[in-house]
Structure 1
């Protein structure tokens, strides 16, 4: 009897300690794993959010770049971390795409989604001094010369790879698909003339577009880009396809409700910050805050179904 009471006391003490720890969250430095190299859209977003999140959470956030495998290496590190809220990442559609391609050991349900931050369009861009000044001209060339135009994206089996293949199937062309280890590498390759065109999110293209060395040809979003009003959407050109990406905060599945609440409050504060909003707008994206819960989980499930199904066809 005494032995059972002792075991119960130890168990209750552990539960109480865990509850206190969750309620006091955070009490130490948080690591934000960015599964790409420095300079890409995800890295820029992390460093944009960092000061506002540190102020809201009252703790230091260390941004750790872990590139490799088109995001798989970094996301795997997070999926395998302790679900205590001290290791997080910034995911997007690549989580679903890599699962569908069978390239990753994790699934999208191995993460808890702590909030959505922004949404952005997929965009096709080319070198400004290249031979194409319109999407129609590029398509004509790719259709007339199948497999000769090189089309870059970020990571084999990733979000932009799947989006690029969906686009090729919809429009009816064949290009040489060239993966890169992160969006910044893809942008550098395009600006250097190593690839002819590339498919990325608008935020990932920001540095190349602002430099004037890249120009956007078409957007896959529902509406024309605010900063590039002359760039048509794919639907305007007669193709019924709309693709957008998202970026938010995720942690290993199993974090406490108190941790989720802390991140919800911090992300709401950060996305309401004028400097953060301006920085996201300057990347050509828009703040799209969604709190953790049923609505966000349903959105993730819907996106997962679409991207996983498409990615499976590409294997």
Structure 2
């Protein structure tokens, strides 16, 4: 009888132990699998911060703020746009890539992400991000003050060629997209890029202010960034580096019209740190797509002279990969890196 009761006790103890283990495993599975899924489904539950690597008032900043306004209304949480201008944009994009991959810190990435690694100024690439959406791809423009003596691009280029080093240009960081625009134009015109020295800036907005103050004589900036100053009669836009003329700047000739075979645009978009859950990326991408297609955003593009271009997630990633390899070739031609 004692052996019988003892056997039952042992079996009961084992059963209770098994039940306890199953409960522990069940709780673990819930927290490992189900709880995160519920958390993602409820995303976002707190404020989101978006790092902008360029100064306030530039194309990336203005575009990001437009989208942030839409997302804030849609999600019902605060969207904080934080301008962190450091290291010519490289330091900010690096910081954004290293944030916690939970969807609460995003980064406004730009074409410079595919430039910096080739120069050794940053050790992050597009592969350190989860792309959400490209929003704009603004063609470069060449502009001077409205009261400058150069009324056409050829007049300006002739002066640069005959007075090398006298004039200065600005637009963004050294080897940034607008600096590449300067080099591409001068090379297409058969002029040594050193004939028009580059003055690095924290973005298009401060570069334009430097132009108006007389610190530089030429700026290479995006179409949307220069349009308000053209409309105000403060600058003269001599050319645009696009395949065709664009809305809002219809009177500005393209380089190809003027006989120079070169075009370039500076894009901007949103990305999250690598490892951010794919459901969060998908949710953000869908919301950004809605923002892009909204009347408010499309009106913003038209009013500013920005050129919209929507690429989502994997399509955006493919673009980044292809452009990364192309930029290496362009930088070699520009003399910034040796073959």
Q: TM-score range by the shorter chain?
A: over 0.9
From 119, 140, 158, the equivalent of 1:101 is 119
Task: Note if 1:298 corresponds to 2:318.
Answer: yes
1:176 aligns with 197
Larger Rg: 2
Q: TM-score, normalised by structure 2?
A: 0.86
Give CA-to-partner distance per residue, 1:230-258, whole Å, 9 cap, x none: 22111112222221222211111122111
The answer to whether the 8 Å contact 2:170/2:220 transfers is yes
User: Greater shift after overlay, 92-101 or 129-138?
Assistant: 92-101
User: Greater shift after overlay, 164-173 or 103-112?
Assistant: 164-173
Task: Note if 1:310 corresponds to 2:327.
Answer: no
2:97 aligns with 79
Task: Note if 1:21 corresponds to 2:46.
Answer: no
Query: 3-state SS of the aligned residue for 2:115?
Result: helix
Task: Note if 1:70 corresponds to 2:92.
Answer: no
The answer to whether the 8 Å contact 1:119/1:244 transfers is yes
1:161 aligns with 179
Give CA-to-partner distance per residue, 1:52-109, whole Å, 9 cap, x none: 1112233210111111222122212101101111111222211112222221131121
2:108 aligns with 90
The verdict on how the C-alpha distance between 1:93 and 1:137 changes in structure 2, with shifts beyond 3 A counting, is same
Runs of 4+ in 1 over 4 A off after TM superposition: 1-9
| Alpha-carbon distance between aligned partners in 1 of 2:207 and 2:140, rounded to the nearest angstrom | 14
Over the aligned positions, Cα root-mean-square deviation in angstroms equals 2.1
The answer to whether the 8 Å contact 1:143/1:172 transfers is no
2:170 aligns with 152
Task: Note if 1:200 corresponds to 2:218.
Answer: no
Query: 3-state SS of the aligned residue for 2:110?
Result: coil
1:118 aligns with 136
**Is there any run of 5+ residues in structure 2 with no aligned partner, and where?**
1-16
Alpha-carbon offset, residue 167 of structure 1: 2.2
**Is there any run of 5+ residues in structure 1 with no aligned partner, and where?**
none
| Alpha-carbon distance between aligned partners in 2 of 1:17 and 1:289, rounded to the nearest angstrom | 33
Give CA-to-partner distance per residue, 1:21-74, whole Å, 9 cap, x none: 222211111001111222212111122222211122332101111112221222
Q: TM-score, normalised by structure 1?
A: 0.92
Query: 3-state SS of the aligned residue for 2:147?
Result: coil
From 279, 287, 298, the equivalent of 1:258 is 279
Query: 3-state SS of the aligned residue for 1:314?
Result: coil
| Alpha-carbon distance between aligned partners in 1 of 2:233 and 2:226, rounded to the nearest angstrom | 11
From 60, 74, 86, the equivalent of 1:56 is 74
| Alpha-carbon distance between aligned partners in 1 of 2:119 and 2:183, rounded to the nearest angstrom | 13
From 212, 222, 238, the equivalent of 2:259 is 238
| Alpha-carbon distance between aligned partners in 2 of 1:163 and 1:286, rounded to the nearest angstrom | 17
